Amino acid sequence: MAKRSTLFIKIVEGKNLPIKDITGSSDPYCIVKIDNEAIIRTATIWKTLSPFWGEEYTVHLPPYFRTVSFYVLDEDSLSRDDVIGKVSITKEVLTAKPQGVDGWMNLTEIDPDEEVQGEIHLQISVLGDGDIPRKLCCQVLEARDLAKKDRNGASDPFVRVRYNGKTYESTVVKKSCYPRWNESFEFELDETLADTGLLSVEVWDWDLVSRNDFLGKVLFNINKLQSAQEEEGWFRLGPDKSKHSEYEGTLGSLRLQLRLRDEVVLPSSHYKPLTELLSQSVGSQLNGNWPDFIMLIDETTTAESRQEVANNLVKLFLGQGLVKEFLDVLFKLELEKTTEPNTLFRSNSLASKSMESFLKVAGMQYLHRLLGPIINRIFEEKKYVELDPSKVELKEAGCAGLHRQQTESDIIQQSSSLLQSYLSELLTSILQSASYCPLLICQVFHQLYLRVQECFPDPEYRKVKFIAVTSFLCLRFISPAIMSPKLFHLREKHADARTSRTLLLLAKAVQTIGNMDTLACCSKEPWMVCLQSAIQQGITQLKDFITKLVNCHEPEDLELQTRMSLQCGTMEKEGFLFLHRTKDKCMPMTSPFKKYYVTLSKDTLSYSRTQHSKKSLFISLPKIRAVEKVEEKCFGSANVMQIISSEDSGQQETLYLDCKSVNELNHWLSALRKACSHNTNTMSCYHPGIYKADRWSCCHQKEKSDPGCDKTRHGVTLQEWYDPLDPDLEAQLIYQHLCSVQHAMRDKYYKLREQQGVQEADSVRDQKKVDGLSKLFSILQDLHDAHAAVEEEERSKNKNLFLELQTWHYSVSYS
């Protein structure tokens, strides 16, 4: 059984941000943190106080996470970035709103006394009995993951213990966020304070010149502690009492969309009946029976949940090898409801959403190969392109020569030539892509082409079968990727304003070709007429491409397609990184990181000097024991990760990877953690520092073999397009959806029962529908009972521990 939480994040926009630059504006970006761990950095939006990001992320989290925070900063090229403010949302708030949180949220000032993190290891006991005066003993053992308060990327922590007016302080541990003290402090236990006595354990960062920085504290109720006599454990450090900010409401606000989904995935055997029923519902068409179950899902799914349901169904049927049959069922349903060919597949129906999801899951590598070169060319050239006379800016275009300013007509003519060049290159790539388009996509388009041709056989509708294909391929796949290459992982950053306009104009041209109607476009936007001949030629080329694409199943093309088809759902990531390698007791070398091309495949992590050279070094994924971040102070970079693996000889090897940004770091962390998720010999703790000068830089332990000072974080990952399919998870999500629409399905069920008693002609067909729904309700009830049993087992496991904690640990809430 797997248990995790999935957080859907969309950072939409900001407004009314304060001015941070001398230009009278700001250059804002966001950092997203889960429990103080940075996982996402948005693009910087230059020179604006009302930035629009529109960035979406899906984060998989362990169920015990507590807070998600959004920090807004102003990027500065010459000095440290300015912090504008933050928005923090607790897990409790997200859990209380299962439909999600969507709205504007005010940024608040960042109070250093509230920016605490980490845990402290304590042993607290009550000593003495009978006539002997009892004593309260607090043993301070160690702490981990403390906040970094000093410029060197660490802190100088010490502990202050208070009880009944007395205060003791520990020694200061220099330059460590993972200090070890092993010091004990004793107090005379005051029996008169039995109900109100508090033991306070505070952690501070010692500073020689300025005031000490607060790192967090824990409070204990002594009355509840006495019944336990002695307790030991790790305790999360909490903030000091929050202060009212005088800047509240003046730092601007963020518009966020968040939704938390808790997932408890049962063993595969529990989902087998549901998966079989779904498979039969699309496979039954082969025997001449209409798959009413898929139609029922289509009718009961709301517009808000349609995209997610479509995505889950597509992935489930991909895993079952039935996605072609599933989409064919949806094509039939859509065609049955369509009377006007011009509206075919233009609505956000389950068929349209499912096809859109299918192309993203099965065709992303194809898309990258198709669009990568032209997108990179546009980003690198950064040419000023504008066809609309009302939007031409002469100052943006520059001069035509040494003494002559360009005119509006010069700019439009030059822009037309550039766009025609981009369009010609793109259409050539599309024509050539028929040889490497995944076979499964070709087969699905072949089905769609034939279904539309059967439905609209008249000569006047001869273009409809082509438009049906282009409505998905061009309008819902290629054009959106051109307009927003970052969202389709074609670029690491969003385009600037000039490049965005070029991409938009190119996407418009592709959409016009996809619609196969040049006159309609030119009537709406007359300034596109200069591209009319290029668009007309493009329509002819696209028809040739579609004809070739839908005939790819022919025997002479099958061998080529089988060889060139790209597998969906396989884990693969690659790119240039800087590597630093160290073995067992050897200290890290003083030489700098070296650049390698790193490839993560299904079984190995390999790297070589260049992309196309032979891979000389390999790490077997099952031998990886931990994949974690490295402290910034170790290498002077906040984006270094370490891969700890074991060799056959038993020696431990650590490979350090230096990434360009926090996003690249977290993408590699996520990919490796998911690839190693089934490893059995994983570490529960690790050293976030390096072993140098005969000691660990993080906790100052002197033996290389000493146990790690921080716990590993296997559970935090980002969802990527190349993630492998997870049939059990998709079945669980479909089960959750079916439960949410169960009332609507029961209404359908009762109506069928009534019709069965009135109509005799279709009684056999109706009886099959009734039997199918009865079977579905039985499966849903079995899954509900299985989840209830798991929850009861979890409650019984945690009950004793929960009661023990309640007897002695005093939790203080702050207003």
The whole-number mean pLDDT for each consecutive block of 10 residues of the chain, a chain of 815 residues, reads 84 94 92 90 90 91 89 89 93 91 93 85 83 85 92 90 92 94 90 72 92 92 69 88 59 94 89 91 57 80 89 92 92 85 81 94 92 95 90 70 71 92 95 91 93 88 90 93 90 85 94 82 79 91 92 52 42 82 56 85 88 82 94 90 86 90 91 88 92 90 90 83 84 92 80 61 60 84 91 70 41 35
* DSSP type of residue 407: P
Q: Would strands 253-265 and 101-106 be described as parallel, antiparallel, or unpaired?
A: antiparallel
d(CA 754, CA 734): 28
d(CA 413, CA 410): 5
Q: Rounded to 5, what percent of the chain is helix, strand, coil?
A: 40, 25, 35
pLDDT at 226: 62
d(CA 470, CA 571): 29
Instruction: Give the DSSP letter string of 3-44.
Output: EEEEEEEEEEEEESPPP-STTS---EEEEEEETTEEEEEPPP
Q: Is 160 helix (H, G, I), strand (E, B) or coil?
A: strand
Q: Which residues fall within 8 angstroms of residue 320, CB to CB, at 6 or more apart?
A: 275, 278, 279, 727
d(CA 690, CA 631): 9
pLDDT at 769: 67
pLDDT at 520: 63
pLDDT at 35: 87
Residue 17 and residue 72 in contact, taking contact as beta carbons nearer than 8 Å:
yes
Half-sphere exposure of 682 (CA within 13 A, CB side): 19
Rounded to a whole number of angstroms, the distance between the first and last alpha carbons of the chain is: 38
Instruction: Provide the residue type at 360 as one letter.
Output: K
Residue 219 and residue 208 in contact, taking contact as beta carbons nearer than 8 Å:
no
d(CA 246, CA 64): 33
Residue 154 and residue 184 in contact, taking contact as beta carbons nearer than 8 Å:
no
Instruction: Provide the residue type at 190 as one letter.
Output: D
pLDDT at 243: 56
Helix (H), strand (E), coil (C) string for 765-785: HHHHHHHHHHHHHHHHHHHHH
pLDDT at 807: 37
Q: List beta partners, residue 225.
A: none
pLDDT at 326: 93
| Both structure tokens of 462 | 């001869």
What order do you get walking across the sheet with 135-144 strand by strand? 180-188, 135-144, 119-127, 230-236
Q: Which residues fall within 8 angstroms of residue 701, CB to CB, at 6 or more apart?
A: 180, 695, 709
Region of 199 on the Ramachandran plot (φ > 0 left; ψ -120 to 50 alpha; else beta): beta
What sections of 196-338 are H helices per DSSP?
222-226, 268-283, 292-300, 306-320, 323-337
Closest CA to 408 of 396, 418, 419: 396
| Both structure tokens of 149 | 């308060």
Angstrom distances, CA of residue 545 to CA of 428, 466, 552, 733: 10, 10, 11, 37
Long-range contacts, stretch 608-617, CB < 8 angstroms, 24+ apart = 611/574, 611/576
Q: Would strands 230-236 and 119-127 be described as parallel, antiparallel, or unpaired?
A: antiparallel
Give strand ranges (E) for 552-697. Answer: 573-583, 594-600, 604-608, 617-620, 624-629, 640-646, 652-658, 685-686, 691-692, 695-696
Burial 1-34 (b: 16+ CB within 10 A, else e): eeebbbbbbbbbebeebbebeeeeebbbbbbbbb
Does the pTM surpass 0.75? The reply is yes
* DSSP type of residue 130: T
pLDDT at 206: 94
| Both structure tokens of 808 | 């002695």
